């Protein structure tokens, strides 16, 4: 009976972890592309601002960033936040952090493309936007997919950092049960959940990579 109750709590926490994972990916992947374009902009001011943003996101702990997003409104502006803001703070923190990492991955992929492809597209009458979205971006996605996969797998594990601001995700549930029961079993069970989740994500990313094999 105790094991059943433990699994129910872990599943409930896992649902929150999956929610953070999916929403972070859906928001950070397109945002990362926009940030990458800003980083490569010929506008020196925009490029510098984006560069500083990326440097801060990559140079400070995600745990600290989550705390700033959650506690910042109160300590900086005196705005009291409700408990419901915790999950929003987690989503904002994860999204802006991972968008910075994805931006650098996008940038490296875009800059690795041969300049001849741009020239050929121009000769064929493609506009700059058509060249980028029809010719360049699909190839970039194929090139950067292994790096993106690594970040996605890291994100699965990083969702546990939401416990920093008391979001009731799976690690938070496991930690509470381990303290109450004075047992390592909840942590072991949580580790199995994370591993299975990671295995499924890795399999899906490998499937996508094989589907893109036609871009050589």
Give the least confident one: 41-45, 112-116, 143-147, 159-163.
Answer: 112-116
Q: How does DSSP assign 10-59, residue by residue?
A: HHHHHHHHHHHHHHHHHHHHHHHHHHHHHHT-S-HHHHHHHHHHHHHHHH
What's this model's pTM, rounded to 2 decimal places? 0.90
Could you give the CA distance from residue 144 to residue 113 in angstroms, rounded to a whole number? Answer: 12
Q: Is residue 28 part of a domain?
A: yes
Domain-embedded: residue 216: no
User: What's the domain count of the chain?
Assistant: 1
Confidence of residue 215 (pLDDT cuts 50, 70, 90): low
pLDDT digits (tens, 9 = 90+) for 137-193: 988 998 999 999 999 999 999 999 998 998 888 888 888 888 877 778 888 888 998
Residue 39's Cβ-side half-sphere holds a number of Cα atoms within 13 Å equal to 23
CATH of the domain at 20: 1.10.3720.10
Range of the domain at 66: 2-211
């Amino acid at each position: 009976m105790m094991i059943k109750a433990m699994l129910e709590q872990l599943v409930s926490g896992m649902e929150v972890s999956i929610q953070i994972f999916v929403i972070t990916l859906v928001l950070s992947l397109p945002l990362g592309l926009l940030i990458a374009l800003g980083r490569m902009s010929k506008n020196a001011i925009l490029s510098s601002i984006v560069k500083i943003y990326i440097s801060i996101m990559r140079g400070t702990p995600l745990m600290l960033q989550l705390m700033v997003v959650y506690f910042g409104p109160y300590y900086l502006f005196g705005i009291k936040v409700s408990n419901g803001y915790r999950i929003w703070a987690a989503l904002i923190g994860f999204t802006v952090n991972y968008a910075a990492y994805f931006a650098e991955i996008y940038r490296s992929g875009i800059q690795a493309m041969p300049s001849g492809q741009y020239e050929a597209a121009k000769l064929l009458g493609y506009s700059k936007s058509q060249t980028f979205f029809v010719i360049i971006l699909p190839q970039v996605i194929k090139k950067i997919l292994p790096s993106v996969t690594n970040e996605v797998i890291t994100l699965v594990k990083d969702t546990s950092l939401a416990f920093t601001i008391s979001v009731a995700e799976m690690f938070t549930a496991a930690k509470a049960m381990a303290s109450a029961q004075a047992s390592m079993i909840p942590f072991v069970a949580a580790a199995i959940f994370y591993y299975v989740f990671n295995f499924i994500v890795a399999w899906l990313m490998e499937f996508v990579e094989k589907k893109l094999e036609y871009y050589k």
